Amino acid sequence: MDRAKRTRAVVWLILTLAAGCARSSYEGPYGDADEPAIEAAEEAPRREVAPAPPTRQAGDVLPQVIYHGTRAQRWVALTFDDGPDDLYTPRMLDVLARLRVQATFFVTGQHARRYPTVTQRIVDEGHELGNHGYNHADLTRLPLAQMRWQLEQTDEILERFAGRPPRVFRPPYGARNSQLIKLTSQMGLRVVMWSVDSQDWRGKSGQAILDNELTNVASGSIILRHSAGGPGEDLSGSVASLPALITNLRQRGYTFVTLSRLLGLED
């Protein structure tokens, strides 16, 4: 092999290896290359950031990190992060009860403890509780012992309300690393991201939130909304657009299910 050929061969090998490394090892069949486009962030988001594009792999084992559910059923899961609170969460629960929709609430241990009545209401009205860490810290920046404490403490608090520990976990800010994936796996928690980002926490109008969601939704979609705002954040557009989202998707033949139902995690 002459020098030029050998150089080309080495470059090709490096590129091939790099492509292989870029592919996540824990994303499985529910990660899709044909995922709907997620609206680009206009500024550095304070909350969850868009998940990395997942890669489809062969096999039918549910992966440890999940972006959407089965595409075979016309099901969608509504998920609400960062609650509960005593302002927006009750209003969202009112809408869900009126329209008989079951959803999943990724709550922090701290907020569950601060708003026990609302947390119990979430459970009593048939919704699922998911672990969202204790105080919304970026868990990837914590030492293992603190990471574990955040997860276990929140599991314990949520079990007191639901009668069983949560099955699903969503990392604050969507931030995850191999240590967090390993720990959640050991704890029996599935890491559930999302495939449709409403960006409702940016104070958008109800119509803008709805347009974004309706453009991107597909069978098996996991829709990310929020049921509590940070300081000064306004989720009234999110509340206002919730009935229209539900009605519109039902007209298109979708059924709303909890994450455990969507992912087949029920006992």
Would you tell me which residues interact with Zn ion (CB under 5 A)? 81-82, 172
Please report how close the Cβ of residue 173 comes to Zn ion at its closest, in angstroms. Answer: 7
> How much of the chain is helix, strand and coil, in % rounded to 5?
45, 10, 45
Please report how close the Cβ of residue 82 comes to Zn ion at its closest, in angstroms. Answer: 4
Cα 122 to Cα 107, 126, 213, 257: the distances in Å are 10, 7, 23, 15
Please report how close the Cβ of residue 33 comes to Zn ion at its closest, in angstroms. Answer: 26
CB 85 within 8 A of CB 212: no
Residue (69 or 229) nearer to Zn ion, CB = 229
Q: Which residue in 68, 111, 132, 226 is the catalytic one?
A: 226
Residue (130 or 172) nearer to Zn ion, CB = 172
Residue (172 or 206) nearer to Zn ion, CB = 172
Q: Which residue in 81, 85, 155, 200 is the catalytic one?
A: 81
Distance (Å, rounded) from C-alpha 42 to C-alpha 20?
30
User: Is 226 a known active-site residue?
Assistant: yes
Distance (Å, rounded) from C-alpha 30 to C-alpha 68?
6
Residue (35 or 81) nearer to Zn ion, CB = 81
Rg, C-alpha atoms of the chain: 20
Find the residue with minimal CB distance to Zn ion.
Answer: 81
Please report how close the Cβ of residue 111 comes to Zn ion at its closest, in angstroms. Answer: 10
Please report how close the Cβ of residue 239 comes to Zn ion at its closest, in angstroms. Answer: 18
Q: Which H or E run includes 255?
A: strand 255-256
**Cis before 165 (ω within 30):** no
> What are the residues whose beta carbons fall under 8 Å from the beta carbon of 80, sequence distance 6 or more?
89, 92, 103, 104, 105, 106, 225, 226, 227
Residue (173 or 254) nearer to Zn ion, CB = 173
Please report how close the Cβ of residue 13 comes to Zn ion at its closest, in angstroms. Answer: 41
Listed in sequence order, the DSSP H helices in 23-166 are 88-98, 109-114, 116-124, 144-162
User: Is 81 a known active-site residue?
Assistant: yes
Residue (82 or 213) nearer to Zn ion, CB = 82
Which candidate, 123, 139, 230, places its Cα nearest to that of 176? 139
Q: Which two tokens stand for residue 261?
A: 């139902």
Q: Which residues are catalytic?
A: 81, 226
